[in-house]
């Protein structure tokens, strides 16, 4: 049986002011598993990722990571904090928050330096991840001179520079052009093949099949309403509809001289669209 990296038991989270973000979540994430959290806006996906990264702690219930409960006390233990942070890489939805240094190089180097790596070693790591992601030419640029796609790549580099065991990404492809989206999906596929545990929160039903082995749907009640393989979840139109992941609409098909309009589910239809 595979080792559990994360174990969440009846986790609830309530924001200041009494707004509930999660209402009793229980799940386990195994080593090397690729997990996607899906759901409508405000269903608690980002909050759940923050819990998994030990940035916030549950109001009720527990979150265990690498066999130890994630709590303020646990993360004030310098050794555990260092070990946990070096094993997990978190990519925020908004890359602006993750790029807080004056240059890309310093942003990427920030994590390794915080982990106590020497400058020479950090420089090697920085150059290595920059080569891997094809962002070498961006290293001496300030973050405000990057495009949104470049910012996202740099944000990913900042999280992956230490080669973490667990990669957590919040909306990795939101707002990106198709080519950058493809690069990021390929990166996630590669990470999965390398045995990394990949956890994503996404609305993108077009790519989730490639990046996840298991999907958890977070409902409006802030609980897990469905879970299963991508095939099982993506073929359940009613679940997807209920959670704003697909919608009914009309549109023109192909280059037909007599365009026809008809309602259908956006994702699963077979009308010979070019892929």
Q: Is the distance from CB of 153 to CB of 183 less than 8 angstroms?
A: yes
Binder to other proteins among 92, 135, 204, 224 (CB under 8 A)? 92
68 to 35, 164, 207: CA distances (angstroms): 20, 18, 32
| Separation of alpha carbons 38 and 84, rounded Å | 25
CB of 119 to other proteins, least distance (A): 6
Binding positions for other proteins, 109-138, rule CB under 8 A: 109-111, 113-115, 119, 122-123, 126
87 contact partners, CB below 8 Å, separation of at least 6: 66, 164, 165, 166
Binding pattern to other proteins, positions 33-72, x when CB under 8 A? -----------------x--x-x-----------------
- DSSP SS3 for 66: coil
CB atoms within 10 A of CB 65: 24
Strand pairing category for 60-65 and 4-14: antiparallel
| Separation of alpha carbons 15 and 70, rounded Å | 18
Binder to other proteins among 21, 45, 70, 98 (CB under 8 A)? 98
Contact segment (CB under 8 A) with other proteins among 36-44, 92-100, 201-209, 250-258 equals 92-100
Contact segment (CB under 8 A) with other proteins among 29-37, 86-94, 170-178, 217-225 equals 86-94
> Is there binding between residue 97 and other proteins (CB under 8 A)?
yes
Query: Which parts of this chain interact with other proteins (CB under 8 A)?
Result: 50, 53, 55, 78, 81-82, 85-86, 88, 90, 92, 94, 96-103, 105-106, 109-111, 113-115, 119, 122-123, 126, 142-145, 158-159
């Amino acid at each position: 049986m595979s080792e559990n990296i994360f174990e969440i038991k009846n986790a609830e989270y309530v924001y200041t002011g009494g707004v509930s973000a999660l209402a009793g979540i229980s799940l386990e994430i195994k080593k090397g598993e690729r997990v996607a959290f899906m759901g409508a806006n405000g269903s608690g996906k980002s909050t759940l990722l923050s819990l998994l990264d030990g940035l916030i702690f549950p109001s009720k219930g527990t979150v265990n990571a690498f066999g130890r409960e994630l709590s303020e006390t646990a993360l004030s233990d310098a050794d555990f904090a260092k070990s946990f942070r070096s094993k997990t890489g978190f990519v925020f939805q908004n890359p602006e928050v993750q790029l807080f240094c004056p240059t890309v190089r310093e942003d990427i180097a920030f994590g390794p330096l915080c982990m106590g790596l020497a400058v020479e070693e950090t420089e090697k790591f920085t150059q290595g991840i920059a080569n891997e992601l094809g962002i070498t030419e961006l290293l001496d640029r300030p973050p405000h001179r990057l495009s949104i796609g470049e910012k996202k790549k740099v944000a990913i580099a900042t999280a992956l520079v230490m080669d973490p065991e667990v990669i957590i990404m919040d909306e990795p492809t939101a707002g990106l052009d198709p080519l950058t989206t493809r690069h990021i999906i390929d990166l996630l596929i590669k990470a999965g093949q390398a045995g990394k545990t990949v956890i994503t929160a996404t609305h993108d039903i077009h790519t989730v099949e490639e990046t996840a082995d298991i999907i958890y749907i977070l409902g409006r009640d802030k609980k897990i309403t469905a879970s299963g393989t991508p095939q099982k979840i993506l073929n359940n139109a009613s679940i997807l509809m209920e959670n704003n992941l697909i919608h009914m609409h009309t549109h023109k098909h192909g280059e037909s001289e007599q365009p026809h309009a008809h309602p259908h589910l956006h994702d699963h239809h077979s009308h010979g669209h070019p892929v």
